[in-house]
Amino acid sequence: MTHADAAFSAGRAALLGAALAAGDPDLLAEAFREDRLHEPYRGPLSPVYGPLRERQPVGAVGMTMSGSGPTVIVWVREADRDACAGELEERFPDARVLPLAVAPEGAVP
């Protein structure tokens, strides 16, 4: 990995933390816009991630893959959650779509 790609990736990680802390979907979208560390190499191996990068579902702010790649998380604004889940179910009928919500601030598990 080049120094430029490493610096870019570290900056995106910091931006991701700031976006989550601020609850800012626009910053979150920017943090997810590009990855140079692993997704260019692992993304094409996923039957779901590649098509989602080519055409993001309605309301998608960004996407992430699990460490080993079988799970893809589509980050979406709460107002678009159900529409996005419906589109994902239509596009990927063999996949399991689980609409989840982020816990409200101060929530205790």
Asked if the structure places residue 58 within a domain, the reply is yes
Q: Scanning the structure block, which residue is given the tokens 């910091």?
A: 14
- Verify that 60 and 26 share a domain, yes or no: no
pLDDT at 87: 96
The parent domain of residue 42 ranges over: 38-95
Asked if the structure places residue 62 within a domain, the reply is yes
- Verify that 87 and 45 share a domain, yes or no: yes
Asked if the structure places residue 11 within a domain, the reply is yes
pLDDT tens-digit map of 59-70: 998 888 876 667
Asked if the structure places residue 54 within a domain, the reply is yes
Tokens of 78: 């709460």
- Verify that 90 and 45 share a domain, yes or no: yes
What is the domain count for the chain?
2
Name the residue type at position 55. R
- DSSP states along 46-63: -TTHHHHHHSPPTTEEEE
Asked if the structure places residue 10 within a domain, the reply is yes
Helices (H) and strands (E) in the chain, counts: 5, 2
Of these ranges, 6-20, 26-40, 79-93, the one predicted with the greatest mean pLDDT is 79-93
- Verify that 45 and 80 share a domain, yes or no: yes
